[in-house]
Structure 1
């Protein structure tokens, strides 16, 4: 699951989880909520990206062949989108993980949705910045060979049905 900040991804994943589908947390938000996380994001975005990579790899490594489908809240290509948006070089390690750790099945895209977008303590982007962020991450996913499926603008239950039907 990828897409714009504040586009309903976490709410959708909570709804999908209620139907028994495993989900992974958004690692960026977890880092931002940890002590010093916001400062790391603001002052050292390259280090923030590497912290996201490390946390995303831990989440990835938890999934075994016996596990059923799991929907991650963002993924490796989102880190590339973040780095590009910040005007930073994509480290070889990040590129290698994006090429080597391939997601199976659909990648769902929650597009920018102005009607529900709200800033909060960790979601500090303006609406315009959220739209730019979405464009950067979608381009990164496509650059790594994925064709994200755009989610409809709908309530969480309807969106969850849409996702579950396509798994």
Structure 2
């Protein structure tokens, strides 16, 4: 069984907070590649934003662990964004060669908690476009998608772990 679980969905929907809660409970986590890249490039004054390479490295490095590993986004999110921008067909290959657990959790739009910050400079409109794309992409690649409930982080983490335990 694949223990790599994707937490994806709408920007500002509480994924990073959920990831922190799962980490506090002892689970392995992989933070969002895009945020890490933007943080590093901002710190160093760089302009490179290699999301795909970092997401591939994250996937490969997580293989050392045989328990649940939760990814804040991942390769599919990066590839779908790049495919959207460039038209280069990346999803068909990357989406099949680098698989995650068949159950993906999507954070729905949650305007009440949405906020911009140094790494998230886009507005809610862009977040909604991204969310719509991801909601289409995951099922096409054969993933079962479950929307995360809009509840506090403890209840959200319980929901994720209970859903996985039932499979």
8 Å Cα contact 2:83/2:89 also seen in 1: no
Aligned residue among 28, 33, 43 for 2:39: 33
8 Å Cα contact 2:10/2:127 also seen in 1: yes
User: What is the distance in 2 between the residues matched to 1:39 and 1:127?
Assistant: 26
User: What is the distance in 2 between the residues matched to 1:38 and 1:151?
Assistant: 36
Aligned residue among 86, 89, 97 for 2:87: 89
Number of residue equivalences: 157
Partner in structure 1 of residue 69 of structure 2: 70
1:63 deviates by 2.2
Q: Name the TM-score, length of structure 1 as normaliser.
A: 0.84
Partner in structure 1 of residue 154 of structure 2: 157
Change (3 A) 1:124 1:76: same
**CA RMSD, Structure 1 to Structure 2 (Å):** 2.1
Corresponding position: 1:20 with 2:17: no
Structure 2, unaligned stretches of length 5 or more? 1-6
Q: Name the TM-score, length of structure 2 as normaliser.
A: 0.84
1:73 deviates by 0.7
User: What is the distance in 2 between the residues matched to 1:60 and 1:77?
Assistant: 11
User: What is the distance in 1 between the residues matched to 2:143 and 2:56?
Assistant: 19
8 Å Cα contact 2:52/2:79 also seen in 1: no
Change (3 A) 1:144 1:39: farther
Partner in structure 1 of residue 123 of structure 2: 126
Partner in structure 2 of residue 104 of structure 1: 101
Structure 1, unaligned stretches of length 5 or more? 41-46
Deviations 1:69-127 (A, max 9, x none): 101110222123313543x21344x5422111111242110111000000111111111
Change (3 A) 1:134 1:33: same
User: What is the distance in 2 between the residues matched to 1:82 and 1:115?
Assistant: 25
Partner in structure 1 of residue 52 of structure 2: 53
